[in-house]
């Protein structure tokens, strides 16, 4: 019996003691538990920071982050904050008896640490989240619609008919027909924008067909609008893929613009079978009513011409005149208006051309129009009149160069978006502005293009941010080709639909001035016989290389501009006859894989060599023999062989474009290149800079240098650093500890610099140092135009300015943008009394490999500095874990300010009156964003985003000014323009402000996002 009892007791003891043993071990493994926790915390923080970097890059690519990624980030931030609290409690506990006495509290802390260590490991293992992001959908029809749409009775009637048809479930094919230039495209774009806004359709697609439809191109545009990547090669395969994508949509409106003949929608992927006729609607526009019949349109809507009254209203608007002006000229303007026969495009062109003209010019215009040559006896009267009006607009250009540019625009197909820079380089080759430096010649050409735009003979394409494009209305293009055909010196032939060999047989091209071919062919096996040909453009979109006959160029020795384009770096070898092109001034080769191009040495008059998107074995040394070469463009090109000093020998170069694709190639000869004496416009990249996504690409002088030893520069000769407008320096070395005076002393002045970017320059300790040898220097003359300063990972940067205040502070006065990223030793960013009167954007970001970057002290701005921020629009602070207050407390600030700030009404509190956007994140000690007395002055505030600020109690905290207690604000904060309020992971946030209500008086609703703010009591109205 005793044995049985002992056995039971032994078993019970085993089960009681065994679970306790590993937990007792916590007390004997304290160091290991803490080290494991710190290790996992550091690794998880690194994973979190890597994810944040990926998010930034994804947003730059206009991608939307998946919800699972955001959840992971939120969960990780929560556990990191919990770990931080544990560490604080453990430190407090360890201070009792130096942590020698085990306690129940200590046991619990250690147990929680072990649990958190395990949890952090699990989060770390789940950090590779897929899918991570997806492309944001394109704005579609919203981008296409006109801002200046005018409703006349005729358009209003057509608009209402269209809207009614689109809401009729029995109608799925609608046709709009009317004369060219009557406003069909503008109308359907406006309808598309409005029905999308009314949510009648969840997808609205707009495609342009034109006279010679390119099916693959149309399919590509549809795919772009649907954010779909087409990988199929065949037209049929791509059509089927588009159909599968469209099937996913519920209600789709497809606008098919400018159809000239029967068009099979299924060829592009639109299958209108019975299953989809109720969900999909197709709206087509055409000049011919019979096309509506051929396309089986159930509803046909005619867009009539404008009435006399409507025409006169539009004409007056475009010519900027009134009835009184017309009466004073015996109604000549009104008679001119009648000659336009109610056609909107003719009215706009005529009115715009005569705007601001003298009385005599108005009378002469009417006489010229009434006695003009008839365009075509077989054409309708209204069309003849309209084309005559457009021709008169051309006649009134007067300047020969502007007229030539107008005709030149007609060599491109219908609806082609023409890059103005390409047009300018073609014009250079044809001699426009020849006696001027290229920069002045470009301005001269741009002025002519502006005249065409003002005359409504060209259309500005506004959606391109980076570069400027124009296009021609198809009817105006018809007029341009008609004029060119009858011209003695500027005949133009455009080939769209037959092999070039057949075209040459069918037409005598001897008298033609310009020839462009857009037909896909891989071989030209004949000689061109056109002694008057000055411009030849061949656009090749085949999938195979282009073979040129040996004698191809022998019969066109007067050629001045040669443009050969493709898209896939296909092989191109030039024949021996290329050496006969001694009059060539512009050689434009885009997208080719080029073999030996040493033949360019024979092109002795060459001024523009444009090799964008090409692949070259090497840039031949012979290029240095081209004594007239002014422009060399290697953008997006790749050069296989090492640098051979070829570019440095081009002593006459005025413009050079070499992007980051060739940074290894260029870095070997950068000193030679930046010493080219005549360069006035350049984009030179020898590095892929981290933050260059916001570069102003329209700037004409951009210089990016990697691992550059500045001591190699001699001050005796001119260099590009002296005249650059935007400079990126990465891993700069050579003994410069500051920009002023060290770098300025070596470079010899940087008077044109307005945007300066420094990255990983470990020798830099401060930006502006005026501590010595500065008594006789006018500091205002140093870098006088600098408005943007970006500082990235400058590990030894301790301060922006060093030296006597009055010599230092003026550097801040002109700044408009300041961006600081991971400068770990930089603490006191702004001197107490600097004036930031022009600063518009301030961004301080410190996330990265290590979380504990400490940019900024407990306070970012002193009160005087905050008062100077009258132009600030955007404030972003991220990862400043010491920051407690954005603006110093007035009690602590005192009255030490010696610089007079321009006063504003109640200037202590009306700070940042133009502030629109505030983003605060990862600032663990921040107590509030602004004192509540500042809210009154933040009337323009639109966007507020606060994320992961664990001690934040209020967005607008207590005001310590004696005249402005919280009671002064009548229990409410008024932000009249607030649109977005985002509050995420703010564990201690109680209210928006110390008062009860946030008031928004805008008619627009506020987009409110609140995540993991457990204590928040949100009052908003």
Averages of pLDDT over each 10 residues, the chain, 1021 residues? 41 39 52 83 86 76 78 87 80 52 64 85 84 62 50 80 87 85 84 80 84 82 82 86 82 86 84 71 86 89 84 88 86 85 81 85 80 54 65 82 95 90 96 90 93 83 77 84 90 85 75 89 79 92 76 91 88 89 95 88 94 89 89 88 79 84 57 81 68 51 84 67 89 87 81 92 89 63 87 91 74 91 86 88 75 64 90 93 83 45 45 92 90 86 92 85 54 79 90 68 70 78 55
What's 555's DSSP letter?
T
* Structure token digits, residue 1016: 């928040």
CB 115 within 8 A of CB 134: no
CA dist list (Å): 436 to 439, 442, 654, 702: 8, 9, 12, 23
d(CA 906, CA 970): 18
At residue 624, the pLDDT reads: 85
Half-sphere exposure of 891 (CA within 13 A, CB side): 8
d(CA 916, CA 938): 8
CB 553 within 8 A of CB 524: no
d(CA 116, CA 26): 14
Burial class (CB in 10 A: 0-12, 13-18, 19+), 606: buried
At residue 70, the pLDDT reads: 85
Give the containing element (helix H, strand E) for 90: helix 67-94
d(CA 259, CA 262): 7
At residue 847, the pLDDT reads: 64
CB 611 within 8 A of CB 638: no
Which residues pair with residue 300 across a beta bridge?
175
At residue 262, the pLDDT reads: 85
Closest Cα to residue 555, out of 575, 541, 569?
575
d(CA 258, CA 208): 6
CA dist list (Å): 6 to 16, 17, 18, 19, 27: 15, 16, 18, 21, 31
Contacts of 426 (CB under 8 A, 6+ apart): 408, 535, 561, 563, 586, 588
Burial class (CB in 10 A: 0-12, 13-18, 19+), 652: middle
pLDDT tens by residue, 903-932: 334 445 568 999 999 999 989 899 999 888
d(CA 256, CA 595): 42
Question: Beta 469-471 vs 459-461: how paired, if at all?
Answer: antiparallel
pTM over 0.75: no
CA dist list (Å): 186 to 261, 415, 711, 803: 21, 14, 60, 61
Question: Beta 615-616 vs 608-610: how paired, if at all?
Answer: unpaired
At residue 694, the pLDDT reads: 43
At residue 348, the pLDDT reads: 83
CB 74 within 8 A of CB 55: no
* Structure token digits, residue 95: 């201070």
């Amino acid at each position: 019996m005793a044995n049985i009892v002992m056995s039971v007791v032994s078993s019970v003891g085993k089960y009681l003691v065994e679970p306790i043993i590993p937990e007792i071990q916590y007390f004997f493994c304290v160091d290991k538990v803490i080290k494991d926790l710190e290790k996992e915390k550091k690794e998880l923080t690194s994973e979190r920071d890597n994810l944040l970097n990926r998010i930034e890059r994804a947003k730059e690519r206009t991608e939307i982050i998946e919800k699972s990624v955001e959840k992971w980030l939120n969960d990780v931030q929560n556990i990191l904050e919990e770990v931080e609290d544990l560490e604080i409690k453990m430190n407090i506990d360890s201070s009792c008896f130096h942590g020698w006495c085990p306690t129940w509290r200590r046991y619990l802390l250690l147990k929680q640490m072990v649990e958190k260590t395990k949890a952090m490991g699990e989060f770390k293992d789940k950090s590779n989240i897929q899918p991570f992001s997806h492309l944001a959908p394109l704005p579609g029809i919203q981008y296409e619609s006109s801002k200046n749409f005018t409703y006349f009775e005729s358009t209003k009637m057509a608009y209402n008919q269209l809207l009614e048809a689109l809401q009729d479930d029995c109608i799925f094919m609608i046709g709009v027909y009317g004369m060219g230039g009557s406003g069909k495209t503008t109308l359907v774009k406006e309808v598309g924008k409005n029905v999308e806004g009314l949510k009648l359709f969840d997808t609205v697609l707009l495609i342009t067909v034109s006279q010679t439809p390119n099916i693959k191109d149309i399919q590509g545009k549809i795919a772009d609008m649907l954010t779909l990547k087409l990988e199929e090669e065949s037209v049929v395969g791509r059509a089927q893929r588009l159909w599968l994508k469209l099937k996913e949509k519920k209600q789709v409106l497809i606008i098919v613009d400018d159809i000239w003949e029967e068009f099979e929608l299924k060829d592009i992927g639109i299958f209108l079978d019975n299953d989809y006729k109720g969900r999909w609607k197709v709206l087509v526009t055409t000049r011919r009513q019979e096309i509506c019949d051929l396309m089986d349109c159930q509803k046909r809507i005619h867009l009539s011409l404008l009435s006399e009254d409507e025409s006169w209203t539009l004409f007056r608007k475009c010519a900027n005149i009134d009835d009184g002006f017309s009466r004073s000229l015996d109604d000549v303007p009104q008679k001119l208006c009648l000659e336009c026969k109610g056609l909107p495009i003719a009215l706009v062109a005529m009115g715009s051309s005569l705007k601001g003209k003298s009385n005599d010019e108005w009378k002469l215009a009417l006489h010229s129009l009434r006695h003009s040559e008839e365009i075509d006896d077989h054409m309708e009267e209204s069309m003849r009149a309209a084309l005559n009006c457009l021709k008169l607009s051309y006649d009134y250009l007067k300047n020969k160069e502007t007229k030539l540019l107008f005709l030149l625009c007609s060599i491109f197909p219908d609806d082609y978006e023409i890059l103005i820079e390409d047009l300018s380089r073609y014009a250079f080759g044809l001699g426009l502005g020849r006696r001027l430096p290229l920069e002045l010649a470009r301005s001269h050409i741009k002025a002519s293009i502006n005249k065409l735009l003002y005359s409504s003979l060209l259309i500005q394409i506004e959606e391109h941010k980076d570069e400027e494009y124009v296009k021609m209305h198809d009817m105006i293009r018809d007029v341009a080709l008609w004029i060119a055909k009858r011209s003695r010196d500027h005949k133009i032939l455009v080939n769209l639909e037959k092999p070039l060999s057949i075209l040459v047989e069918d037409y005598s091209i001897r008298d033609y001035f310009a020839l462009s071919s857009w037909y896909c062919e891989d071989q030209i096996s004949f000689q061109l016989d056109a002694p008057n040909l000055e411009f030849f453009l061949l656009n090749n979109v085949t999938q195979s290389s282009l073979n040129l006959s040996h004698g191809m160029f022998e019969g066109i020795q007067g050629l001045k501009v040669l443009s050969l384009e493709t898209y896939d770096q296909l092989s191109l070898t030039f024949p021996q006859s290329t050496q006969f092109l001694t009059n060539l001034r512009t050689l434009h080769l885009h997208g080719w894989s080029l073999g030996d191009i040493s033949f360019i040495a024979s092109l002795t008059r060459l001024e523009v060599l444009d090799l964008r998107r090409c692949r070259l074995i090497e840039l031949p040394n012979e290029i240095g023999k081209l004594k007239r070469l002014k422009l060399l463009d290697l953008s997006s090109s790749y050069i296989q062989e090492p640098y051979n000093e070829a570019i440095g020998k081009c002593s006459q170069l005025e413009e050079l474009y070499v992007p980051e694709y060739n940074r290894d190639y260029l870095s070997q000869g950068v000193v030679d290149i930046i010493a080219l004496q005549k360069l006035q416009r350049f984009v030179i990249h020898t590095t892929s800079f981290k933050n260059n996504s916001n570069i102003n690409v329209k700037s004409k002088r951009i210089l990016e240098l990697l691992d550059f030893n500045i001591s190699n520069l001699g001050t005796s000769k001119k260099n590009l650093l002296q005249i650059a407008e935007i400079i990126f320096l990465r891993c700069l070395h050579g003994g410069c500890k500051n920009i002023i005076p060290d770098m300025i002393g070596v470079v010899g002045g940087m008077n044109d610099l307005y945007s300066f970017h420094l990255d990983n320059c470990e020798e830099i300790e401060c930006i502006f140092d005026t501590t010595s040898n500065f008594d006789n220097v006018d500091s205002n003359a140093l870098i006088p135009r600098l408005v943007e300063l970006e500082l990235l990972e400058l590990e030894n940067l301790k301060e922006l300015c060093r030296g006597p205040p009055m010599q230092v502070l003026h550097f801040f006065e002109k700044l408009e943008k300041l961006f600081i990223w991971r400068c770990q030793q930089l603490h006191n960013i702004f001197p107490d009394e600097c004036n930031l009167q022009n600063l518009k954007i301030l961004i301080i970001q410190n996330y990265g490999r290590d979380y504990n970057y400490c940019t900024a002290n407990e306070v970012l701005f002193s009160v005087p500095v905050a008062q100077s921020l009258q132009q600030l629009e955007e404030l972003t602070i991220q990862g400043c874990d010491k920051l407690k207050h954005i603006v110093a407390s007035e009690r602590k600030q005192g009255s030490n300010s010696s610089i007079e700030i321009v006063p504003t009404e109640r200037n202590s509190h009306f700070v940042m009156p133009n502030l629109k956007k505030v983003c605060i994140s990862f600032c663990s000690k921040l107590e509030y964003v602004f004192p509540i007395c500042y809210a009154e002055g933040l009337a323009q505030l639109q966007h507020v985003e606060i994320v992961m600020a664990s001690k934040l109690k209020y967005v607008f905290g207590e005001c310590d000014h004696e005249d402005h207690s919280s009671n002064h604000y009548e229990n409410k904060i008024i932000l009249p323009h607030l649109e977005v309020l985002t509050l995420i992971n703010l564990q201690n946030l109680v209210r928006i402000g110390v008062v009860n209500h946030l008031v928004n008086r805008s008619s627009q609703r506020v987009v409110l996002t609140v995540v993991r703010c457990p204590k928040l009591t949100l009052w908003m109205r």
